[in-house]
Amino acid sequence: MPLTDVAVKNAKPGAKPFRVKDERGLYLEVRPEGGKWWRLRYWINSKERLLSLGTYPDVSLKMARERRDEARRLVAQGVDPSELRKAQKNSEAAEVETFERIAREWWAKFQPTWTEDHGNQILHRLELNVFPWIGARPLKEITAPEVLAVARRIESRGALEMAHRMVQNCGQVFRYGIATGRCERNPAGDLRGALPPTKETHHPSLTDPKAIAHLLRAMEDYQGSHVTSCALRLAPIVFVRPGELRHAEWCEIDIEGKEWRIPANKMKMRAQHIVPLSRQAITIIEEVRPLTGHGKYLFPSARTLERPMSENTVNAALRRLGYTKEELTGHGFRSMASTLLNEMGWNRDAIERQLAHAERDNIRAAYNYAEYLPERRKMMQAWADYLDTLKANGKIIPFLREERAI
């Protein structure tokens, strides 16, 4: 006998669950705690199945019968409504806008605007420090305390600067989520002042001419890979960023023009950079050509010519020479050149341009990559000659440009 609205309403819970049958497999399950569940009993592929159709009174008798009829139509077509519902839930779960999903989308969107090293560092930082903790959380549900907990976890292992960078990256993901309609606010922005400030640090470097002379002579006696030796000896002469050095390609080198033109996509400031090549730099480049000139990179990985050498190669070579990370790093050659070139009277603007530092005027930055180039050519040759003099006898012979800029 079919159910009525009154019978459904008046069904009272008992000591045990019981069923009140309707028609065509539909019944109401009444539980001791008072809940009333609509169930459909059906058969497909000779197997009995049960399907939940909702709870009373949210789902009325009429709605339950409509859902029953729709489910039975699917069964008649050979479709199991339980399996269909499960597949729909899985699909919806896959479409949840999680932090990791939006973060990877953001990274892919902006990765072309970064250098390869910078982009890889950001993704590695997220994969190692963020995704395991909040990566599966819906972006719009993440709170400031959750982001702070991730930052504190990084801080606790002594990586305060990385913790600050992580918060910055998370903030960029949230702002991207806001712009694309996936969340409404940036909880990382609420963490201002929640972490201790970082102390300004500088890359360890050598600026005493006697110490530099000792370093250069030690480099000449390096006993490791010859390719590494060439990279090590070229680094102080050209004083580019370590990532720019290890990603140097043969197609960028113009021996006749005595130039190395680094494409904008490899530069931190995203502008092409010209490195005038001194005689000494060209000698080292020609020295490594027989070993790597048939490949893409001047200084490839020891395992394959298709990838550049590891970012740790030059620093590892310095460690083999006896220099600790507190005494000198590959990046320290830039500070070495900057300090001494300024002390010796070279045009500060020419030095800054050769270091490829940021141009405050964005309009000027778009076209001044070649600015001061004649003076920079003289400066780079004089710098290489000076290093040779130190290496040869350790005498401290200061050098000045031929005339100061007016």
The active-site residue out of 47, 202, 367, 404 is 367
Helices 332-343 and 373-393, interaxial angle, to 10°? 100
What are the angstrom distances between the C-alpha of 99 and each of 139, 162, 172, 364, 398?
A: 5, 19, 12, 38, 56
Active-site annotation holds for 203? no
Sheet containing 36-44, strands listed edge to edge, beginning at the edge strand earlier in sequence: 18-21, 26-30, 36-44, 47-56
Active-site annotation holds for 357? yes
The active-site residue out of 67, 165, 331, 353 is 331
Query: How many CB atoms are located within 10 Å of the residue 99 CB?
Result: 28
Q: Which of 358, 357, 350 is nearest to 376 (CA)?
A: 350
Active-site annotation holds for 401? no
234-250: b (≥16 Cβ within 10 Å) or e: bbbbbbbbbbbbbbbee
Handedness of CA 128, 134, 136, 139 (dihedral sign): negative
For the chain, the 3-state helix, strand and coil shares in percent, each to the nearest 5, are 55, 10, 35
Cis peptide preceding 2, ω within 30 of 0: no
Helices 116-129 and 99-110, interaxial angle, to 10°? 170
Residue 302, token pair as written in the block = 């020891």
The per-type count for the chain, helices as H runs and strands as E runs, is: 17, 7
Active-site annotation holds for 247? no
Q: Confirm if 45 and 28 have CB atoms less than 8 A apart.
A: no
The active-site residue out of 65, 334, 353, 391 is 334
Q: Three-state SS for 376?
A: helix
The active-site residue out of 24, 124, 226, 357 is 357
The active-site residue out of 241, 246, 247, 273 is 241
Active-site annotation holds for 124? no
Active-site annotation holds for 367? yes
Return the active site residues: 241, 268, 331, 334, 357, 367
